[in-house]
Amino acid sequence: MNSIFREYDIRGIFEKELNEQTTKLIGYFLGLKFKPLGGVVAIGYDARSHSPILCEYLTSGLNQAGCQVLCMGLVATPVNYFSNYQEFDGLTPNASIMITGSHNPSEYNGFKITIDKKPFFGADIYALGDQVIKNIDVKIEDNTACKKIDAKTLYIDFMVREFAHLKGFDTPVVLDCGNGVAGVVILDIFDRLGFHYKALYANPDGAFPNHHPDPTIEENLIDIKKELAGDFQYGFAYDGDADRLAFLTKKHNVKGDIMAILYSEAMQNPTVIGEVKCSQVMYDTINAYGKAIIYKTGHSNLKVKIATLQADFAAEVSGHLFFNDRYFGYDDAIYATLRMIELIKNGLNVNQRIEALPRVYSTEEIKVQTTESEKFALIEQIKTLLKNPPKGFPRIKDIIDVDGVRVIFDAGWGLVRASNTTPVLVTRFESTDAQKAKEYETQMNALIQTAKEILK
């Protein structure tokens, strides 16, 4: 059961790991943490068939701990985050829990947790797991009493107000909601703003009958690309809980790091945080008119960093986009969509701007299988090997070890980091020269194999 308590959230298979007993205990021990802050907890859930069941289990645990539970029902994850900044009949949440399996297969579910507007993650989640496991036989009685709240309408009203200047935007766009929860809010927003759009798979269905709800995988974008081959100019695709965005034009699938350039160019002297997988093009471009900071991968890490530095924006390549400029600093794919439409309405030629950026050759994320017990040891061994690299290894200009190792070479970089959620090493390579990018990949992979041999 330890495996469900992960770096950024809690995630597992319904009934197997996330069953009635474990979920009630998670609610109870979380409730004991929430209570000293006031104990007002807002809960929302995604489209999976078991999400409302898990909501009842969590509510029982939270009630046992003496909390006041506010239930918002079926919502997108950003609506759940948004609730932390709202008041409901005199009650302001001190914490929130979003029940979602995000982009995982339909049998999975999980919890994204916020306390006092800050993510609950890392050591806190692992400590919670220890408490649950040690007390696994403690019985929590059924008590599903809660106060129903309408966070969704507040969120929709906020977006319509904030983007009222976009009313009548008539460039045709297509949305792929992937049968997740994006459609629960974005259709109303687009309708009230009078946009010209078509929505694919907007009906929430936790079985995800049309395609897997992960827009970072190209095969999940086939349908939206077909629409873009016709009259539609831009496409927006969402993961299962609508906190990640894929943005497409007729010519480009625009990754999160390139979107960061487009967004930040419209900001005054911006401070932007990127993760270690972001292109050097992003860092170099933003540093010409603002400040770009490299940091750890992970939505929880970036939320904490953006608040600490009071940065304007943060981005992951995967499409987690965090606006602290005019917003609350959490990842919200619906809000990011409206900010992109704002740029386009204000005259941004997306294709032209992307094609004016320096040309680089980048790999996608390449995963190297390993084990949970070995992955971090491999990173440490690679760091040791890089102190005295083998003959013929490309010249090293710098090593950034904020999250794994990002090795800066003369014409690009190579990254090796341990995934915090799966037993793999994640690698990515980039260069201004296609052959160099391949060379960096080959040399770094050889280093990984050497590290594996040493650890045997």
Q: Which residues are catalytic?
A: 11, 102, 320
Q: Which of 189, 106, 138 is nearest to 26 (CA)?
A: 138
Asked if 300 and 111 count as a contact pair (C-beta separation under 8 A), the reply is no
- Give the residue carrying structure tokens 């009635």: 20
What's the token pair of residue 382?
């690679």
The whole-angstrom separation of Cα 392 and Cα 443 is 9
| Strand partners of residue 295 | 275
The whole-angstrom separation of Cα 272 and Cα 256 is 12
Helix (H) / strand (E) containing 121? none
Question: Quick one: CA dihedral 256, 262, 264, 267, positive or negative?
Answer: negative
- Give the residue carrying structure tokens 């032209």: 352
**Cα torsion for 443, 444, 446, 449, to the nearest 10°?**
180
Q: What are phi and psi of 24, to 5 degrees?
A: -60, -40
Q: How many CB atoms lie within 10 A of CB 168?
A: 10
Q: What are phi and psi of 324, to 5 degrees?
A: -100, -15
Asked if 301 and 277 count as a contact pair (C-beta separation under 8 A), the reply is no
What's the token pair of residue 244?
């990640």
Looking from the CA of 34 toward its CB, the CA atoms found within 13 Å total 31
What's the token pair of residue 315?
């981005």
The whole-angstrom separation of Cα 24 and Cα 392 is 57
| Strand partners of residue 243 | none
Instruction: Please report, as a single letter, which amino acid is at residue 113.
Output: I
The whole-angstrom separation of Cα 274 and Cα 295 is 6
DSSP state of 3: G
DSSP for 214-226, written as a single string: -TTSGGGGHHHHH
